[in-house]
């Protein structure tokens, strides 16, 4: 029971006109206090839905958590009443969203938006909350925080808005910070600053972070653990070192190979993963990745592979032995 957050076999489905979308289908992971878990995968792999499920922010009735447990400090968030969930949201578990341009309310001053959760969860007065908001803005590196707290979001640049979002999320000193692609909408230089800021904040506050991204490069320095998702399922899960240096799933190889690298060879081309992610309504039988996998064999097309431990808590669904991995050139060379 030492885990801060333990997700067991989570499944979240959306009922649409065309059928049931299994956005998240059997995801399990553990988050220890102060650690960082990176959730990696393509668009539509279920990363964000996993995050929203933890916060219980899935839009009902179309979307529903259909099974699993979300144990926060031992209590199942799924079984909490609405008011219990609200007391966790924003206070113990806070969230940063992808697009800082649209995630702040345009008609309220930044300081007020930051102070809102302090008034709600910490019982502060408006004035106290404003003072605290100024401190928080200063902490996330906004110059002239007292003046800027009185500004509206449109007066902030993209990077500053994301800093404000971080300040807002950290306002109540949460145990867990969920960041849903926090740098995707930003310039590259700003991305680095925001990631640096998040690491700095983690050191200061000791919050655990769930970092959702489609960019493995982003999480390389940051994450303690990495979970790779594909078509709503986790395909690989382990410590950052293991997943980066001994990846066991062809999809992870593909993700790593599609990263731009300037250290290996100058004229090296990027190797995309060919094909498209599958429809989540008609997931291919067997391993969902098999139509795009150059190593797919008979069984891959028939039987859904389960997670198995390949040593040291490193889990993968792929039955491929480590020596079957092509050496330098990762999975997709022949397909590229």
Partner 1 sequence: MLKYVVRRIFQMIPVFIGVTLILFILRAPGVLPGDPVRMITGERAITEALRLQVIEKHALDQPLHRQYIIYLQNLMRGDLGESYQRGRPVVDIFAEKFPNTLRLALAGIIVEVIIGLTAGIISAVRQYSFLDVLVTLSTSILVSVPVFWLGMLFQIFFGIRLKEWTGGAFYLPISGMSSGEFPDWVHLILPAITLASVSTAYVARIMRSQMLESMGQDYIRTAEAKGLTRRAVTFRHALKNALIPVVTFVGIDFGVMMGGAILTETVFSWPGVGREIFLAVGQRDWPIVMGGVVIIVFLVMIINLLVDLSYALLDPRIRYGGAGE
d(CA 159, CA 172): 22
How are strands ordered across the β-sheet holding 63-72? 19-31, 5-16, 63-72, 75-76
Beta carbon nearer to partner 1, 170 or 226: 170
d(CA 75, CA 50): 18
**Residues in contact with 134: Cβ distance below 8 Å, sequence separation at least 6, in sequence order:** 111, 145, 146, 149
**Residues in contact with 262: Cβ distance below 8 Å, sequence separation at least 6, in sequence order:** none
Residue 62 touching partner 1 (CB under 8 A): no
Joined together, the tokens standing for residue 204 give 């200061």
| 16, 62, 105, 274: residue in contact with partner 1 (rule CB under 8 A) | 105
d(CA 167, CA 328): 42
Residue 97 touching partner 1 (CB under 8 A): yes
| 13, 22, 89, 132: residue in contact with partner 1 (rule CB under 8 A) | 89
Shortest Å distance, C-beta 58 to partner 1: 11
Sign, Cα dihedral of 201, 203, 208, 211: positive
User: Which residues are bridge partners to 316 per DSSP?
Assistant: 236, 308
> What is Dmax (Cα atoms) for the chain?
66
Residue 188 touching partner 1 (CB under 8 A): no
Residue 181 touching partner 1 (CB under 8 A): no
Residue 183 touching partner 1 (CB under 8 A): no
For partner 1, what does the binding mask look like between residues 136 and 175, x meaning CB under 8 A? ----------------x-xx---------x--x-------
Residue 126 touching partner 1 (CB under 8 A): no
| 12, 117, 213, 332: residue in contact with partner 1 (rule CB under 8 A) | 117
Residue 185 touching partner 1 (CB under 8 A): no
> Scanning residues 295 to 324, which ones bind partner 1 (CB under 8 A)?
none
| 8, 35, 86, 325: residue in contact with partner 1 (rule CB under 8 A) | 86
Shortest Å distance, C-beta 97 to partner 1: 6
Joined together, the tokens standing for residue 216 give 């493995």
Contact 72, 5 (CB under 8 A): yes
Beta carbon nearer to partner 1, 211 or 216: 211
Beta carbon nearer to partner 1, 27 or 176: 176
Contact 161, 197 (CB under 8 A): no
User: Which residues are bridge partners to 89 per DSSP?
Assistant: 93
User: Which residues are bridge partners to 283 per DSSP?
Assistant: none
Contact 199, 213 (CB under 8 A): no
d(CA 236, CA 229): 7
Of 289, 225, 197, 220, the closest CA to residue 36 belongs to: 225
Residue 104 touching partner 1 (CB under 8 A): yes
> Of the listed pieces 27-35, 80-88, 244-252, 315-323, which binds partner 1 according to CB under 8 A?
80-88
> Of the listed pieces 95-103, 206-214, 230-238, 249-257, which binds partner 1 according to CB under 8 A?
95-103
Tell me how many residues contact partner 1 (CB under 8 A).
Answer: 29
| 18, 81, 106, 263: residue in contact with partner 1 (rule CB under 8 A) | 106
Residue 94 touching partner 1 (CB under 8 A): yes
Interface residue list for partner 1 (CB under 8 A):
55, 57, 86-91, 94-95, 97, 99, 102-109, 116-117, 120-121, 152, 154-155, 165, 168
């Amino acid at each position: 029971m030492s885990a801060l957050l333990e997700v067991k076999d989570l499944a979240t489905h959306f009922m649409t006109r065309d059928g049931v979308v299994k956005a998240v289908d059997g995801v399990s992971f553990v988050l220890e206090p102060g650690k960082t878990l990176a959730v990696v995968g393509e668009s539509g792999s279920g990363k964000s839905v996993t995050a929203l499920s933890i916060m219980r922010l899935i839009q009902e009735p179309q979307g529903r958590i259909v099974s699993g447990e979300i144990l926060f400090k031992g209590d199942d968030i799924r079984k909490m009443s609405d008011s219990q969930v609200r007391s966790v949201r924003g206070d113990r578990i806070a969230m940063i969203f992808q697009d800082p341009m649209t995630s702040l309310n345009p008609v309220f001053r930044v300081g007020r938006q930051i102070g809102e959760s302090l008034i709600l969860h910490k019982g502060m007065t408006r004035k106290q909350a404003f003072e605290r908001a100024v401190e928080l803005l200063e902490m996330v590196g906004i110059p002239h925080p007292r003046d800027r707290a009185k500004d509206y979001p449109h007066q902030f640049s993209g990077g500053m808005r994301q800093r404000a979002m971080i300040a807002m999320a950290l306002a109540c000193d949460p145990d867990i910070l969920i960041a849903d692609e926090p740098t995707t909408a930003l310039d590259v230089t700003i991305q680095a600053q925001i990631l640096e800021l998040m690491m700095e904040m983690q050191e200061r506050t000791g919050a655990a972070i769930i970092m959702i991204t489609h960019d493995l490069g982003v999480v390389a320095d940051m994450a303690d653990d990495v979970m790779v998702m594909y078509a709503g399922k986790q395909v690989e899960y382990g410590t950052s070192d293991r997943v980066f240096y001994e990846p066991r799933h062809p999809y992870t190889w593909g993700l790593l190979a599609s990263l731009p690298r300037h250290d290996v060879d100058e004229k090296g081309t990027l190797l995309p993963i060919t094909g498209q992610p599958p429809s989540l309504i008609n997931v291919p039988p067997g391993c969902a990745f098999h139509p795009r996998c150059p190593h797919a064999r008979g069984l891959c097309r028939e039987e859904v592979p389960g997670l198995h431990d390949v040593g040291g808590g490193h889990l993968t669904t792929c039955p491929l032995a480590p020596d079957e991995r092509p050496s330098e050139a990762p999975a997709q060379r022949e397909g590229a």
